[in-house]
Amino acid sequence: MSIATPAQPASSTRTQVAIVGGGPAGLMLSHLLHLAGIDTVVVDNRAAEAIETTHRAGILERDSVRLLVDSGVDRVLRDGHRHEGIDLRFDGVSHRIDFEGLVGASCWLYPQTDVFIDLHARRTADGGDLRYGITETEVLDVLDAPRVRYTDAAGTRHEIVADLVVGSDGSRSICRDLVPNPTRFFREYPFAWFGILTESAPSAPELIYTRSERGFALVSQRTESVQRLYFQCDPAEDPAAWSDDRIWGELQARLAGEDGFRLNEGPVIERTVLPFRSFVQTPMRHGRLLLAGDAAHTVPPTGAKGLNLALADVRVLAETIERTVKKGDDAALDSYTDRALARVWKAQHFSYWMTSMLHRLEGASDFDEQRQLGELASIIGSQAGSTYLAEGYTGWPER
């Protein structure tokens, strides 16, 4: 979203909570607050149709699924795919991590786009005030009397006056920059993921995380006829320079092993390079502005934590806002950052750990290679090690 030029609004709306960013996190917060009897207005510079058609993977932790289902958004149970474990593959051999057997929990393969579609449909059916396709958004006076101003598709300027503003506007957040003198923690990674969508049958029933001498690869699923696959690459790689044959040759080489495993191949219908980083900003609250999801933190995709972490923020934030708005307990706002960051840093560690364990560093020494293999062997050879991975992957239960 861009910073707006000063202009007087043609209309003004009064609400209890203005939510800047209408992706899954913003819509889930709006939905939960609606169930609590709290009014919201959601604004986003993207068109809803654009969000619905942007392919994004999604592994939902058990508590994320529970949050959807308990709040009445339950299509995930019908159309999602329950995964009771993953395979760790290295030295050409797959080793199953049995989540159900280790921690009594599963995760669900359910694309982020479907989470958005479900929540958007529910908020629309409930009469939610959702404003997509806007421009020139600015957030003002967050210390005492928050306002959000924006321009609609017709060029008309509008204003929303609220008790609280939530910035769930993603990794390019404008709300983030309104927090004065924040502390920011940041790590860039020297590799990226080359991701493809392919018209092919599933190559495995659940995810395969692969460490090979050629680098990391991930076998995922999407539908019975479209699959999602990734392999480690240079962030400067040009996806257009890779033919289908070259892509399949690289993926097959990384998955090759003594068991003869081979991927099911098909036409590549989408290819993209996905750089990633680790980022945390604190505090996640300034005055009557609160941050959630990628606006406050991002994680590498290896640990499947991004969307789940945003939904965990929202779960805490909905409770915090309900106490503030309905009970007049402004002190509740003070606890939000610490409550959210307790989980954020666990997820940052887990994502970093999975990333560093499975990716090959350019120029790695023989010692580095063997240490990495030793770490993987320790995970699959120890119930305690496997349990740690299973608990982190399925999501640490709330206690």
Element (H, E) at 246: helix 244-255
Strand runs labelled E in the chain: 11-20, 40-44, 59-60, 81-83, 85-90, 93-98, 107-109, 129-132, 135-140, 147-151, 157-167, 183-199, 208-212, 215-219, 226-233, 268-282, 285-286, 289-291, 297-298
Cβ atoms within 10 Å, residue 61: 25
Q: Could you say which of 120, 158, 286, 305 is catalytic? A: 305
Q: Is 134 helix (H, G, I), strand (E, B) or coil?
A: coil
Q: Could you say which of 209, 297, 336, 359 is catalytic? A: 209
Q: Contact at 8 Å (CB) between 118 and 68?
A: yes
Catalytic residue status for 393: yes
Catalytic residue status for 83: yes
Q: Contact at 8 Å (CB) between 186 and 279?
A: yes
Catalytic residue status for 283: no
Catalytic residue status for 209: yes
- What lies within 8 Å, CB to CB, of 58 at 6+ separation is 109, 110, 111, 112, 113, 114, 115, 307
Catalytic residue status for 336: no
Q: Could you say which of 286, 301, 336, 359 is catalytic? A: 301
Region of 369 please: left (phi>0), alpha (psi -120 to 50) or beta: alpha
Q: Could you say which of 110, 150, 336, 393 is catalytic? A: 393
Q: Which residue has the tokens 């960013």?
A: 21
Q: Could you say which of 83, 120, 286, 297 is catalytic? A: 83
What span, in angstroms and rounded, lies between the C-alpha atoms of 135 and 52? 19
The structure tokens listed for 40 are: 């919201």
Give the catalytic positions in this structure: 83, 209, 301, 305, 393
